[in-house]
Structure 1
Amino acid sequence: MRLVNAELFKLRTTAIWWIMAIVLVPLYAASVLANWAQFASTDPSQVGNDDQAEQVRAALEPINVATSMYTSGQYFGVLIVLLLSAIIVTSEFFHLTATSTFLVTPKRESVILAKFGAAVIVAVMVWLGTTIINLIVVPPIMGQLDLSASLGEPAVWRAIGLNLLAFVLWAVLGVGLGVLIRSQLAATLILGILYVVGTSAIGLIFFLLTQYVAKWFENLQVLIPTSASQLMISGTDLPGNPPRWVGAVVLIGYAVVAGVIGTLITKRRDIS
């Protein structure tokens, strides 16, 4: 725990954490408003394709509207967690403290485990902040949509809990990727661009493959980490999508691979 506290102290002594917090606030607000507008304006009868109409009708089921609204902010929240988790690693090289860190704690796996622990704590804090606000602002929105608050539904609390798991797994992924990209600036830019632009580009590729090659490509979209996160928190299994547990397995797989690779590289890489 001493090492974890040290990692959190390093993060708190830089300006990056509150900059990220300031960035997250408008992005979170935009997410809530976008979800609200989407559910208020979507009409399944206006969707031409029968399969798409079925998916829209399923998404508009009260329980799926509730789970989506109560987990609003996940897309940008996990992006902030991903970047902060990578910075926990890359800041060592940016501020030239890596050598002293490993001299004080020669057992490198202890250091990297402490970084994982600090990243998980950051993830929990971001999740907790967005979740508390969601629990305050979403019930009135559900009322505006002529739906009950649904806070008595087990599926809502399951989605909130799985949302926490998603935040934690993205934190582990961020630390692992931070080990691979040692430059703080490069890590922030590369991961941010890959998350936003890369996700959209890969999603478009899968869409085109589904439309023009084979229908089963649609199910492979779960391999996109952001899609896996979204699948995890759906209230029910949605038509045309794999079961919710597949999303959890995919995201856990990415986190485990990143964590193991990050630990092994840290143990063997020369630090200077």
Structure 2
Amino acid sequence: MTFLRAVSAELRKILSTRLWWVLALIAFGYVGFTAVAIGFSLSVTPEEAGMSIPDGFLAPLVYSMATGIGYVFPVIFGAMSITSEVRHRTLGTVFLATPNRSVVLAAKAVAGFVVGAVYGIAALAGSVGLGAPTLAAVGDDTLLGDSDTWAMFGRIVLAMALWGVVGVALGVLIPSQIGSIVTIIAFTQFVEPTLRIAAAFVDWLGELGRFLPGAAGDALVGASFFSMFAGAGGGTAPLEWWQGGLVLVGYAVLLGAIGAATTWRRDVT
């Protein structure tokens, strides 16, 4: 009962702020714009873009932009659900209301999962709602009548939900708001993309690269922009979708466990 009350309190706290829906709107616009740009450019001029697009590949690629570039939003929100309380010194009040810190952490993880799923729906609204009409306008198959496409949509929402939990775990491990956001942006926008492109052309990096967080998320979804680089370089095959999901869960558990054993146990002032 205490756990359910803690989850309810976390969700009410989230809904009482503007941050969650502002980020959702930004995710919708950012993902939607990118989906339109990718769908149009690779449909009209794939040769000029240096890409060879197999039949039936473009629609999943466009739709998977929801996670391919949108996963940073649930990660940031999940981290801020922890770091904002540390920054504004409200975490002490939370611990007074629920003295068991493990319950508080679990409740925040559940809330991160729920909000991550919401971001998944918002990102899908952008990638599918704007990307599919673009594909139809240029004469490409939208594949919206294919059951595999709808299964991918479900995995996209699941992946974004798991990313929300990973964000919570990162916030516990790096309680500094500036430190956690800089780390997330640097890793997701520069470090991992660089490693994944290199992994497509270097065999030993390919084996390691598919266990990177973003690669695991893409494997869970079943499509990504990076798969074109893998195809061009003859890179290592990605994980199975269920393996990708387990790797994401593993990152969340590992980061959360380290944070719970260190920073989460410190005295709150």
Q: TM-score range by the shorter chain?
A: 0.7 to 0.9
Measure the CA separation in 2 of the matches of 1:186 and 1:22: 24
> What do the CA deviations read for 1:186-242 (whole angstroms, capped 9, x no partner)?
22222122211222332355356x1xxxx3433432122222222332369985323
Corresponding residue to 2:258 among 251, 261, 264: 261
- Give the drift of 1:152: 2.6
> What do the CA deviations read for 1:142-197 (whole angstroms, capped 9, x no partner)?
32343333223222122112212211221111111101111222222221222112
1:156 aligns with 2:144: no
Residue in 2 that maps onto 1:69 = 62
Corresponding residue to 2:124 among 101, 111, 131: 131
With normalisation by structure 1, the TM-score equals 0.81
- Give the drift of 1:255: 2.2
What's the secondary structure of 1:162's corresponding residue? helix
Measure the CA separation in 1 of the matches of 2:34 and 2:136: 18
Corresponding residue to 1:34 among 34, 37, 47: 37
The letter of the residue matching 1:180 is L
Relative to structure 1, the CA distance from residue 112 to residue 101 in structure 2 (aligned partners, 3 Å threshold; closer, same or farther) is: same
With normalisation by structure 2, the TM-score equals 0.81
- Give the drift of 1:32: 1.0
Relative to structure 1, the CA distance from residue 154 to residue 216 in structure 2 (aligned partners, 3 Å threshold; closer, same or farther) is: farther
Measure the CA separation in 1 of the matches of 2:161 and 2:105: 16
What's the secondary structure of 1:61's corresponding residue? coil
Residue in 2 that maps onto 1:200 = 193
Residue in 2 that maps onto 1:222 = 210
Residue in 1 that maps onto 2:267 = 270
Residue in 2 that maps onto 1:169 = 162
Corresponding residue to 1:250 among 247, 257, 262: 247
- Note if contact 1:36-1:141 (Cα within 8 Å) is conserved in structure 2: yes
- Note if contact 1:181-1:187 (Cα within 8 Å) is conserved in structure 2: yes
Q: Which has the higher helix share?
A: 1
The letter of the residue matching 1:223 is F
- Give the drift of 1:243: 4.1
The letter of the residue matching 2:30 is L
- Give the drift of 1:135: 4.0
What's the secondary structure of 1:194's corresponding residue? helix
The letter of the residue matching 2:265 is R
- Note if contact 1:68-1:234 (Cα within 8 Å) is conserved in structure 2: no
List, as ranges, runs of 4+ consecutive aligned residues in structure 1 with deviation greater than 6 Å.
none
The letter of the residue matching 1:117 is V
Identical-residue share of aligned pairs (%): 27
Gaps of 5+ in 1: 48-55
> What do the CA deviations read for 1:1-51 (whole angstroms, capped 9, x no partner)?
32223223333444533443453243223321232134312239x96xxxx
Measure the CA separation in 2 of the matches of 1:135 and 1:16: 24
Q: How does 1:47-62 map to 2 (within 5 A)?
A: 60-62=54-56
The letter of the residue matching 1:43 is E
Per mean C-alpha deviation after superposition, the further-off stretch among 14-23 and 71-80 is 14-23
Measure the CA separation in 1 of the matches of 2:147 and 2:158: 17
> What do the CA deviations read for 1:233-260 (whole angstroms, capped 9, x no partner)?
2369985323433433332321232233
1:4 aligns with 2:1: no
The letter of the residue matching 1:248 is G
Per mean C-alpha deviation after superposition, the further-off stretch among 251-260 and 106-115 is 251-260
The letter of the residue matching 1:231 is A
- Give the drift of 1:136: 3.2
Residue in 1 that maps onto 2:47 = 43
- Note if contact 2:27-2:123 (Cα within 8 Å) is conserved in structure 1: no
